[in-house]
Structure 1
């Protein structure tokens, strides 16, 4: 089978979860015998492809998806709708305005059209599936729930590195990831904090740097290569992994941290996989006192995370589920 992966043009810039999801899915499908190609803007021949698989709901992917429909070929969309927490309210407002005001919020309208015309939508969890039904009027029967897989090449295994009183946070330093609130919480915490991730927003970077002044227990590492020895070492050393995001869909970093047996202190504004719920300490991401309490509680808990991952599928398992969907769609006319 020959599959074309499509996503928004700048998906690779941040080297974040979406780019890794695409790469892991591509590699796993190739390992079970399929040809997978990633779309680029110079492509103009699509006849040889069997399936179009779009990642994300960005309207820039709609033209390619529409072309596959003209060719009577199936279109699958992994929506990755990041509209949890406070973003849910904003999303409802945008959706209402897009529906009622002609020529307003055109991108929202185009995204909705692409999602509604897809032959199958892939949600990462039941909460995202509910958003697709509620916001975009997608029939439930058109949605399949397939969570992200676990990367066996970046997992703690049976590391003997002793845990330290170190809190690790991995992700692009930006408003949505909300590292500023975490830094402010550390004014009342004696543990060490390691912040890993690119800092492309200069204004937010400055605010974080100013907030961290006079706090020698906070260290900015910048962007570290995925799977690098330094990244593995930080995961191995950290007793707690903290994710203070305002919104996420299904962050891969939580799975990675759990595989290294880090206890999890996590924002309560987005869904967690059920098997990660037990023992995870939650907090409101804009309440620094709540963050402080959650980290202290997580630091004092016994380890549980690695054993919980038995329910997490591998990327090969994800690829097999996608293969089944592709084959079924190819059996019916479009």
Structure 2
């Protein structure tokens, strides 16, 4: 498995997805290593498993290396078109630029800025964004992938629509939860330190424009809801957080925790009534699965694959509509505990099931070879 350089230092959904899938694949007898290098020696490996079509500059170098060494490639796509978010969800000067520029130009400008600002960014991956181009690298990766591993059918459809191709060379690999940990946490008594958040609304995720927490605090401003934000402030998003903090400071029922250990986070979910993610896109958001497993009702963005995962067992909102966000939370809050959704998560959306589907993809790639 290969991923981005900051895979560990800036942990995200892809970090959890790959590491948890690795654990379960090893239980199925597969030997798995994770590498963050661009051009490692692959002579001891049968398959290269890449991830991410959005942060393409590193995946591009890794797939070039795999093809040079004649290794079959499977790709966890982790994809959703970003244009809507970049043009409508961003703020400040970046929003102005995005309204005028194509995605290639946007990524080229960002790359030039990184190149000038950060000495560590002056490398092949950044240079390729400037010289080769963002979408050309994406198309190269897609053209040279043997088997695709999207997290949903709709994600695969969006990928094909965006890049104008068609394929049957894919296996849907669901996002998941660690079912053993979740089941164990369900059986534990409530933590007294979280008693004050009984029946609260929780939103877990890095503080950044894509996660849309500013719209969330605006939507609930002046309401009687207890709101708990959990997540570190992303780099380059301090001004965005400062706007959010204005609402936290004036609402005594609004709280922000930069970090809570995952073991304790399960217990916090169990205390809360609603988990919300009004983000600009989610596929579908690991935190939503974890929260649903602990009994939370969901108020989530309609963008992404949320509908495919949750169907009628969640309440949906539009990220650019404050009334829509508030309405989804109202509906989720007044809804009875949704045992059907909880059972669905434990049955279908686990890392064990993800590993089984991933292994099927590996076998398909080996057969093509």
TM-score, normalising length from structure 2?
0.80
- 1:157 alignment counterpart: 186
How far did 1:139 drift? 2.6
TM-score, normalising length from structure 1?
0.87
1:119 equivalenced with 2:115 (yes/no): no
How far did 1:255 drift? 0.6
The residue correspondences of 1:167-316 to structure 2 (distance < 5 A) are: 167-200=201-234, 201-226=237-262, 228-229=263-264, 231-274=265-308, 276-304=310-338, 305-316=341-352
How far did 1:13 drift? 3.1
- 1:31 alignment counterpart: 27
The superposition leaves residues 119-158 of structure 1 with CA deviations (integer Å, 9 ceiling, x where unpaired) of 0111111111112211223432122222112211135535
2:151 and 2:172 in contact (8 A); partners too: yes
CA RMSD of aligned residues (A): 2.8
The residue correspondences of 1:98-113 to structure 2 (distance < 5 A) are: 106-113=133-140
CA 1:193/1:115 → structure 2, altered by over 3 Å: closer, same or farther?
Answer: same
SS of the residue corresponding to residue 242 of structure 1 reads: strand
How far did 1:272 drift? 1.4
More deviation, 55-64/240-249: 55-64
1:166 equivalenced with 2:175 (yes/no): no
SS of the residue corresponding to residue 108 of structure 1 reads: helix
How far did 1:43 drift? 6.1
1:82 equivalenced with 2:70 (yes/no): no
- 1:140 alignment counterpart: 167
Gaps of 5+ in 2: 88-97, 108-129
SS of the residue corresponding to residue 298 of structure 2 reads: strand
SS of the residue corresponding to residue 145 of structure 1 reads: coil
CA 1:283/1:85 → structure 2, altered by over 3 Å: closer, same or farther?
Answer: farther
Distance 2:357 2:305 in 1: 22
SS of the residue corresponding to residue 200 of structure 2 reads: strand
The superposition leaves residues 52-99 of structure 1 with CA deviations (integer Å, 9 ceiling, x where unpaired) of 00011122122221222222220011111132682498899537999x
How far did 1:12 drift? 2.7
- Give the aligned length: 324
Distance 1:317 1:165 in 2: 31
SS of the residue corresponding to residue 278 of structure 1 reads: helix
- 1:6 alignment counterpart: 2
- 2:103 alignment counterpart: 94
How far did 1:192 drift? 0.6
1:167 and 1:239 in contact (8 A); partners too: yes
CA 1:115/1:96 → structure 2, altered by over 3 Å: closer, same or farther?
Answer: farther
Distance 2:351 2:290 in 1: 13
Distance 1:96 1:174 in 2: 22
- 2:71 alignment counterpart: 73
More deviation, 303-312/56-65: 303-312
CA 1:329/1:267 → structure 2, altered by over 3 Å: closer, same or farther?
Answer: closer
How far did 1:262 drift? 0.3
Distance 2:106 2:299 in 1: 36
- 1:329 alignment counterpart: 365
How far did 1:49 drift? 0.9
- 2:110 alignment counterpart: none
CA 1:308/1:323 → structure 2, altered by over 3 Å: closer, same or farther?
Answer: closer
How far did 1:284 drift? 1.7
How far did 1:183 drift? 0.8
More deviation, 82-91/211-220: 82-91
CA 1:114/1:289 → structure 2, altered by over 3 Å: closer, same or farther?
Answer: same
1:59 and 1:108 in contact (8 A); partners too: no
Which has the larger share of helix? 2
Distance 1:15 1:169 in 2: 17
